Every structure is written in structure tokens, then in C-alpha cells.
Amino acid sequence: MKLVGIIGTLIFLGIIIQIPLGYIVTTNRNYLPIHIGIGILGLILIGYELFYALKSNKQSVKILNSLALLLVLIQIGIGSNIIENNSETLSIAHQANAYILLIIIGVIGYLTFSTARKEKTISS
Ligand code: HEM
């Protein structure tokens, strides 16, 4: 698997861990630094993927990757606000954004791997 594929898989695993971890953080703030760390690492890794997606000719992956980067930035913003002053609205926004991100990252993974498999079959 190429580095972009490995990083894409890491991003998918990251969001799968990040959502339950977020619910743990609501009751135990000791895990907050890990939650923030994964969020920031996710931002860097999605930025890396976007850099490669922009060079490819897959329009849908370009758009979805840009959207994912924007949503992670928003998620960091909402998360930082929750630390300052928690409110029901912010919490709902943070949760909704988390599930939208899960779907987008899943779709990016599906598109990337299904086209990669097709290209492999054609070239072999
Ligand atoms: C991709 C990144 C992230 C995802 C998917 C995510 C997801 C979640 C989820 C599902 C929850 C539990 C529900 C809730 O109370 O809102 C949560 C809680 C929380 N998250 Fe995140 N989060 C991310 C990044 C961040 C970042 C970067 C910060 C801080 C800068 C942060 C701060 C918090 C805090 C403080 C809570 C506890 C909220 C409470 O006590 O009600 N999150 N997160």
C-alpha cells in the first residue's frame, strides 16, 4: 500500500477512535489531551491527503478532502469553545460534525480504494 493509502487508513481509524473517546471525555477530562492530540494530528494528516488529492484528477475526492479539512478545522474551533464554556448547542454541533466527518472520511476511503483496485485490474 502506498503512503497516501496508509495515511488514509490512519485517518479512518483515528475518527473511529475519536468519537467514543469524545464521549469518554464528557465524563473524564483526563483524556482531553489525547482527544485534542488526535484532532490536531487528524488535521495535519488530512492536509497531507488533500495535497495529493489536488494533484490527482479525481474531482470528487478533491472536493470531499477539502470539505473534510474545513470540517476538522471547525471541529477544533467548536472543541476549543466547549473547553471555555460548554453549552448544549456547542455539544450538539460537535457531535453532528463528528458524524458528518465519519461519513465523509468513509466515502473518501471507499472512492480511493475502489478506483485504486480498478486501476490495478486494468494495468495487470
Ligand atoms: C476530528 C476531531 C474530533 C471529533 C471527531 C470529536 C468528537 C467528539 C465527540 C463525539 C464528543 C462527545 C460528544 C460531545 O459532548 O460533544 C466530543 C467531546 C468533546 N470534545 Fe471533541 N472531537 C474532535 C476534536 C476535538 C478537539 C480538537 C477538541 C478541543 C480543542 C475537542 C474537545 C472536546 C471536548 C472538551 C469534549 C467534551 C464535551 C463535554 O464535556 O460535553 N474535540 N468530541
Q: Are 87 and 68 in contact (CB under 8 A)?
A: no
123: its cell numbers: 494495468
**pLDDT number for residue 123:** 63
Is 124 within the bounds of a domain?
Answer: no
Helix residue ranges, H only, the chain: 3-27, 32-55, 59-84, 88-123
Tens digit of pLDDT for each residue in 1-21? 889 899 999 999 999 999 999
When mean pLDDT is compared across 23-27, 47-51, 56-60, the lowest value belongs to 56-60
Q: Are 96 and 70 in contact (CB under 8 A)?
A: no
Tens digit of pLDDT for each residue in 107-118? 999 998 887 777
pTM, two decimal places: 0.92
CB-based pocket (< 6 A), ligand 1? 15, 18-19, 22-23, 25-26, 32, 35-36, 39, 42, 72, 75-76, 79-80, 82-83, 86, 91, 94-95, 98, 101
Is 7 within the bounds of a domain?
Answer: yes
Q: Identify the band that residue 56 occupies on the pLDDT scale cut at 50, 70 and 90.
A: confident
- Residue range(s) defining the domain that contains residue 22: 3-119
* Atom 14 of ligand 1, residue of closest alpha carbon: 91
Q: Identify the band that residue 122 occupies on the pLDDT scale cut at 50, 70 and 90.
A: low
Is 87 within the bounds of a domain?
Answer: yes
Tally of domains within the chain: 1
The single-letter code of the amino acid at 93 is A
Q: At what angle do helices 88-123 and 3-27 cross, to 10 degrees?
A: 160
Is 91 within the bounds of a domain?
Answer: yes
Tens digit of pLDDT for each residue in 63-107? 999 999 999 999 999 999 999 998 999 999 999 999 999 999 999
The single-letter code of the amino acid at 77 is G
- Residue from 39, 40, 45, 36 nearest 10 by CA: 45
